[in-house]
Amino acid sequence: MTHIPQWAKLQMDFRAKVHDERRQELEHIEAKKLNPLLPDFVRSDDYQWQVEQQEKNAKYSAPGGRELQIEDRKKEGKEIFELIENQRKIKSLEYAKVEAYHVLHGPASEADAAARLAICMACEHRAVEYKGQTDAGGVGWCTQCGCGSNPRALLTVKVTLAGYECPLTPPKWSKVEGTGASVASAVDAVAGVAKSIIHKLSGG
């Protein structure tokens, strides 16, 4: 008996689904000729994607299609780059807000920080070695927050930031009240921002 890989099964199921939906659409078109009051046929996301791919392939196969394909790839690349840049800006803004909260309200209490850290220690997304860095303390970083291996992104630091919350959906722990602003928390926040900038400039 021939073994069929899982990816091949999924591909066959997808093609069968799209083929069946195409048949339903053709039948609907014929039925609408007899009854114009029928609502338009609504394509599923999978079927719509397949139709768009077929239209692209037909366009690229026509004379001058290669040039059109190159232009489309450049456009798609630019859109992806802009999306990544926007996400970075959002991340930077979120980080700035967390540090500002740290300045105004102080760090999380020892009890809150310990409770957060206990959750992180049991999380499957924690890594002691991450992006070329190793945490000598053995706690490590979150691999889901997008902060990289920045020293300020160490979990031992993050759990103390009262205005921060777990990046998972839903979060495993949330923002908490700070223990009060102080000169130390303000200096700590400024130092943290400086370390983050230095780490980014060094390629981290």
Distance (Å, whole) CA 53 – CA 59: 10
Taking each continuous run of H as one helix and of E as one strand, the counts in the chain are: 6, 4
Domain layout of the chain by residue ranges: 6-64, 89-201
Q: Of 46 and 123, which is predicted with more confidence?
A: 123
Task: Provide the 8-state DSSP code for 162.
Answer: T
Inter-residue contact 193 to 102 (CB < 8 Å): no
Q: Please give the structure tokens belonging to residue 165.
A: 């919350």
Q: How far, in Å, are 135, 145, 197 from residue 95 at the CA level?
A: 21, 11, 12
pLDDT at 170: 94
Above 80 in pLDDT, residue 85? no
Above 90 in pLDDT, residue 177? yes
pLDDT at 23: 92
- What pTM value is reported for the model? 0.52
Q: Please give the structure tokens belonging to residue 142.
A: 């979150």
Q: Residue 15, CB half-sphere, CA atoms under 13 Å: how many?
A: 6
Inter-residue contact 149 to 133 (CB < 8 Å): yes
Place of tokens 């970083």: 141
Burial class (CB in 10 A: 0-12, 13-18, 19+), 192: buried
Place of tokens 């692209």: 56
pLDDT at 183: 59
Q: Please give the structure tokens belonging to residue 192.
A: 């943290």
Contacts of 192 (CB under 8 A, 6+ apart): 99, 102, 152, 157
Q: What is the mean pLDDT of residues 91-96?
A: 78
Inter-residue contact 99 to 192 (CB < 8 Å): yes
Above 60 in pLDDT, residue 160? yes
